[in-house]
Amino acid sequence: MNKSVLVFAAGFALVASVRSSEAQYVATFSSDRPTAECLTPAQKEAIAETRKQTKRAGPSNQEELLDPDYFVGTWGVEWVAPESPLSKEGDVSGTLTLRHVGGCYYEGTFDLKGPDGPYTAALQLTYDVNRKYLVWVESDSRGFRHIRMGPVGGDPGGYYTYFWEEPVMKVKDTNVALRGTLDTRSPVMFMLRQQISVGGEPFVNFGTVTFMKNVP
């Protein structure tokens, strides 16, 4: 079995975990924040200590652990969408609001307006701390679902890159595949870089979605 098959097998196991978590955490919706955290206090402290070490003799070979609480909050979303089976060409803008549900499970909602008009999407994130692996499930009101899966690597400076791929999906009788990276640029900004393959053609640039956090 090759590496890519193993990676996707691990990802689909996490997708199943996301779906089972929906029922597990439904009782916590009435509270402001569940007590069960994704990272332990010791892990959070280790991340904080690493951030303080701004001067090092050389680059670290160790991939730093992501704290997925980074994504919690409301983010402004901006993107110029190219023409594709997913939508017409044009500006996309709106918000993403994400909250911690319990453990390493997070839920959110996109409220967007694009060239085809307003639309929404439900977002579910699940992070595997041991594998440093993230699954991003985005259920779009226009009738398709993005299942982004892949590893997350970080450096001591607090910059993280999520290397994701999606299984091929059928949109308007056409096979569509997406892949790319998510880069955390600062505590209040991350960028989702995308490539698309339509009908089995080579991957081409599909633009960059910019997320800016709304902070008081």
Residue 80 is part of a domain; what is its CATH number? 2.40.128.20
Number of domains in the chain: 1
Query: pLDDT: is 71 or 52 the higher one?
Result: 71
Look up residue 111 and give its two tokens. Answer: 């409220």
Q: Which pLDDT belongs to residue 61? A: 52
- Assign 48 a pLDDT band (cuts: 50, 70, 90): confident
Q: How far apart are CA 9 and CA 22, in angstroms?
A: 21
> Using 50, 70 and 90 to split pLDDT, how confident is the model at 51?
confident
Residue 50 parent element (H or E):
helix 41-52
* Domain ranges, residue 204: 3-213
> Is the confidence at residue 177, as pLDDT, over 80?
yes
Q: Could you tell me the pLDDT band of residue 158, with boundaries at 50, 70 and 90?
A: confident
Give the model confidence (pLDDT) of 97-130 as tens digits: 999 999 999 999 999 999 999 999 999 999 999 9
Mean pLDDT taken over the chain = 85
pLDDT at 25 over 60: no
Average pLDDT of 151-163?
Answer: 90
What are the CA-CA distances from residue 181 to residues 17, 134, 164, 207, 208 (Å)?
A: 23, 12, 6, 11, 10
